[in-house]
């Protein structure tokens, strides 16, 4: 399955692959707003998000020859963004112990006491749970739901079989569901 | 955002929550400052990319130079015999006195019989084992 970019983008990408920095700049101008939005959703503050987008663009330039059009350009860029984010988190990105989850839940309980909006709470809860997910699961969830990529596209972007994407997605959702149950138990015990 | 594949009923709530969360993520306005700062860095890479082969050559030349310096430093050290070697060599060379030459015998014979016999004794001690019958049996 190919996700051929539009003619203009394809032409600019071809030029960029040959070393045309201006063509790459034009391609990235269209991708930056969405990348920045996703980066802000992942990072703690805007400065980190800017750094993340910058590193993503530089990494994309360096390995542009590897983009073969088997997925959308944004999906490919999003994988780079995720990997860069994971690198910036260091070993914390691999797993957050449940104790930390409990601390986060306690913090959320305090925030809830200050009558915060329910959708903000849900977003923060999801953010905490996503951080607690192993990186390989977090990656597919982010790509599927936040980059709106299809399973074949995720498989192409990550270079793994489609069955693996399916199974990772299933396990990720199962883990998230269990974490949510656990958090709800913690909340219930607090009240 | 739509999700149609891999729908598990058990995960419907979680999928819905993720979709709601994804909808909350909005595109940001284009940040020109960030873009041009990044492109400036990329241009620096691209500029450095052209003489990349040259830089490899420089790296190889530097590595060769370092290897040469190390080899030069190591050469005298390797050519010097170790202190043990010196002792061993001394053991081999110093105790072994060379037997007298024909010219020495001739000179000794010209000087006196005692000198000639002394030289013969010394060489006999050097060349024959101490248990040799020559030292115990008197000459006829």
CA quadruple B105, B107, B110, B115: dihedral sign: negative
pLDDT, one tens digit per residue, over B90-126 is: 444 445 566 778 888 888 888 888 888 888 888 887 7
Options 1.10.10.10, 3.40.47.10, 3.40.50.1110, 3.40.50.300; CATH for A95-191 is 1.10.10.10
- From B58's Cα to the closest Cα of chain A, the distance in A is 22
Name residues whose C-beta falls within 8 Å of residue B81's C-beta, 6 or more positions apart in sequence: B89
Give the whole-angstrom CA distance, residue A81 versus residue B76.
55
Full pLDDT tens readout for chain A, 191 residues: 556 566 788 889 999 988 899 999 999 999 999 999 999 988 878 999 999 999 999 999 999 988 988 899 999 999 999 999 888 876 655 555 544 555 555 555 555 555 556 667 778 888 888 888 888 999 999 999 999 999 999 999 999 999 999 999 999 999 999 988 888 787 777 66
Q: In terms of CA atoms, which chain A residue is nearest residue B13?
A: A177
Residue B20: list chain A partners with CB under 8 A: 119, 122
Shortest CA distance to B28 belongs to which of A36, A148, A146, A51?
Answer: A36
A108 Cβ contact partners less than 8 Å away, ≥ 6 residues apart:
A121, A124, A125, A128, A187
With beta carbons less than 8 A apart as the criterion, state whether A180 and A129 touch. Answer: yes
ipTM for the complex shown: 0.78
> Using a CB-CB distance cutoff of 8 angstroms, which residues of chain B are in contact with residue A29?
30, 35
Closest-CA residue of chain A to B50: A19
Question: Which residues in chain A have their CB less than 8 angstroms from residue B26's CB?
Answer: 37
Nearest to B43 among A21, A34, A38 (CB): A21
Sign of CA dihedral A39, A44, A45, A50: negative
Domain regions of chain B by residue span = 52-79, 100-136
Do residue B3 and residue A144 have CB atoms under 8 angstroms apart?
A: yes
A1-93 CATH fold: Rna Polymerase Sigma Factor; Chain: A (1.10.1740)
Give the predicted TM-score (pTM) of the model. Answer: 0.62
CA dihedral B58, B63, B65, B67 (to 10 degrees): -170
- Asked if A123 lies within 8 A of B34 by C-beta distance, the reply is no
């Amino acid at each position: 399955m190919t996700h051929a970019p539009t003619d203009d983008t394809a032409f600019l990408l071809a030029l960029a692959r040959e070393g045309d920095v201006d063509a790459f700049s034009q391609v990235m101008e269209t991708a930056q707003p969405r990348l920045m939005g996703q980066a802000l959703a992942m990072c703690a503050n805007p400065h980190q998000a800017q750094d993340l987008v910058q590193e993503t663009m530089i990494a994309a330039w360096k390995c542009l020859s590897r983009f073969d059009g088997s997925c959308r350009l944004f999906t490919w860029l999003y994988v780079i963004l995720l990997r860069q984010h994971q690198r910036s988190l260091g070993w914390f990105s691999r797993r957050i112990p449940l104790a930390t989850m409990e601390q986060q839940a306690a913090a959320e309980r305090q925030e809830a006491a200050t009558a915060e909006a329910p959708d903000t709470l849900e977003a923060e809860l999801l953010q905490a749970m996503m951080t607690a997910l192993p990186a390989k699961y977090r990656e597919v969830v982010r790509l599927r739901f936040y980059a709106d990529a299809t399973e074949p596209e995720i498989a192409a972007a990550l270079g793994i079989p489609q069955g693996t994407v399916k199974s990772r997605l299933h396990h990720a959702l199962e883990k998230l569901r269990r974490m949510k149950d656990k958090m709800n138990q913690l909340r219930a015990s607090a009240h | 955002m739509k999700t149609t594949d891999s729908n598990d009923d058990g995960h419907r709530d979680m999928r819905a929550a993720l979709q709601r969360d994804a909808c909350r993520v909005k595109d940001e306005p284009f940040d020109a400052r960030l873009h041009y700062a990044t492109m400036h860095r990329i241009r620096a890479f691209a500029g450095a990319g052209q003489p990349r082969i040259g830089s490899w050559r420089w790296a190889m030349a530097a590595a060769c130079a370092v290897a040469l310096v190390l080899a030069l430093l190591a050469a005298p050290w390797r050519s010097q015999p170790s202190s043990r070697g010196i002792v061993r060599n001394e053991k081999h060379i110093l105790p072994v006195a060379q037997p007298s030459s024909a010219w020495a015998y001739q000179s000794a014979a010209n000087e006196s019989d005692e000198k000639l016999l002394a030289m013969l004794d010394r060489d006999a001690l050097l060349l024959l084992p101490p248990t040799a019958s020559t030292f115990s049996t008197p000459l006829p």
